[in-house]
Amino acid sequence: MARVAVVTDSVASLPEGAAAEYGIIVVPYYVHVQGQALRDGVDIGPQAFAEYLASLPKEAELPKTANPGPGDYEAAYLQAAERAPAILSLHMTSRGSGAYQAALVGRGMALQHRPDVEIRVVDTRNVSMCHGWMSLQAARAAAQGATLEEVCALVQRMIPVTRMLQTADTLRYLYMGGRIGRAQHFVGALLNIKPIISMEDGEIVLAGLARSRPRAYRRIAELVAEAVPGGEGIRLALTHAAALEEAEALRALVAERVPVVETLFCDLSPALMVHSGPGTVGLCYVPEGASRL
């Protein structure tokens, strides 16, 4: 039995089958669609949700999202406690979601029932498969027999060097979700530009602009090459919202510039798709040296 169980959120956008393979417990976010609270990745999947978003008229109100509550995390921790004496719980940036705070409350609730178990709750200051890479590598390390301290140290090394870059046809979804301001949205719509979005210390930032999708992909690949020391390999996750062929095109551009030691293709979770829109394509990468024990 592993000494550490890993818990994470559905917005980690882990590739299909990864959670089951590595014993990761995934707590779903909620997506509110037409009066129904649907569990992200359980009651509705990425393909169906992308089709639903694409069918909405431009003036329609977008679905709302909600992070899991303390009770959801309590249940996950009690489940994890049956597997291991220590639990590492990894969450998307606390600057964009209340999940981290809810998990802290859930931790206290779970410890009332299982005071013998150690639970660490970590704000990854990241999102999507950046958050997902940390969950996956933590679970892999745990499967190799790593202690809670060793797994936590691994995640802390990954946090500052794991990065997301993505692009979409419009800034509308980020604007409607309150992730960017009115001025940025207006300029983007006026010029019909493709934004390149990233995250710095837990906050969404604009990393660049391009006049077309192919140019945006080239610029993303250049940004990866500029950030990674010469010759060092990366773990690369291509994230997309019903745009697998476009994700493959981006993969090829990155592979021309940087050695890639592992490649994953991941569907963007519906809870994240609300804020990025169908057709979004991006990547999350981490230098190989920082992502292993």
Give me the amino acid identity at 26.
Answer: V
Q: List domains and CATH numbers for the chain.
A: 4-28+66-158 (3.40.50.10170), 33-65 (no CATH), 163-291 (3.30.1180.10)
Q: Which residue has the tokens 């800034």?
A: 171
Q: Which residue has the tokens 């999102």?
A: 127
- pTM, two decimal places: 0.92
pLDDT at position 176 over 70: no
Residue 73 CA, chain-centre distance (Å), reads 18
**Tens-digit pLDDT profile for residues 77-131:** 999 999 999 999 999 999 888 999 999 999 999 999 999 999 999 999 999 999 9
The number of CA neighbours under 13 Å toward the Cβ of 261 is 13
**Tens-digit pLDDT profile for residues 17-49:** 999 999 999 999 999 998 899 999 999 999 999
